[in-house]
Amino acid sequence: MEQNKKEGRYSRIHDQLNELIQKSRSVNARMATVTAVLHHKMDTFFWTGFYLLENEEMTVQMYQGPVACQILEKNKGVCWAAFNKKKTVVVEDVHQFPGHIACDSRSSSEIVVPFKNLEGRIIGVLDVDSKEKAAFDETDARWLEKILGLIYKDL
Ligand code: SME
């Protein structure tokens, strides 16, 4: 997507989510709504959802898209890489990423953003896959990080 168009789209999504999340103080409701709005408003998002660390296991939570891996093998793949590095990871071609976990063979590129709780501790990640190669860049990283910041807002 062209950069200006992407900026505009994310800006509108952010404002819409900012309004929506205030209607509930449930973290689960907010995560689900972030997932739904992103998935349906961003054309290239093929799989959009959260993985959280539960009993030491990176476990799938609410998501939109094809059925996903339920638990990700520890310290393998893109989600674990972002979680361990404590920073957003953008992968232009998942087939070139050593250890990438393919839940759906149609995915070509991916972005994974660490998700922090109220105390600022990273508790999991937001993962987005695209069928297009190199669908994600710094603009996606910046906006998705900002959007994740809405989930614990004013709690
Ligand atoms: N590709 C991810 C696994 C999750 S799915 O893409 C939904 C990874 O390598 O961690």
Q: What is the pLDDT of residues 58-102, one digit of tens each?
A: 999 999 999 999 999 999 999 999 999 999 999 999 999 999 999
Question: What is the Cα–Cα distance from 65 to 49, expressed in whole angstroms?
Answer: 8
Distance 74 CA to ligand 1 centre (A): 12
For residue 1, the model assigns a pLDDT of: 82
DSSP conformation class of 51: E
- Contacting residues for 52 by C-beta, under 8 A, at least 6 apart: 58, 59, 61, 115, 123, 124
Domain count of the chain?
1
CATH of the domain at 76: 3.30.450.40
The average confidence (pLDDT) of the chain is 97
Find out whether the beta carbon of 110 lies less than 6 Å from any atom of ligand 1: yes
Distance 34 CA to ligand 1 centre (A): 18
Our mutation pick for probing the ligand 1 site, out of 57, 61, 74, 79, counting the most ligand atoms within 8 A of Cβ, is 79
Question: What is the Cα–Cα distance from 88 to 107, expressed in whole angstroms?
Answer: 18
Which pTM was predicted? 0.97
Question: Can you tell me whether residue 153 is helix, strand or coil?
Answer: coil
Q: Where is 45: in which H helix or E strand?
A: none
Domain that holds residue 100: 3-151
Find out whether the beta carbon of 126 lies less than 6 Å from any atom of ligand 1: no
Tokens of 118: 């109220």
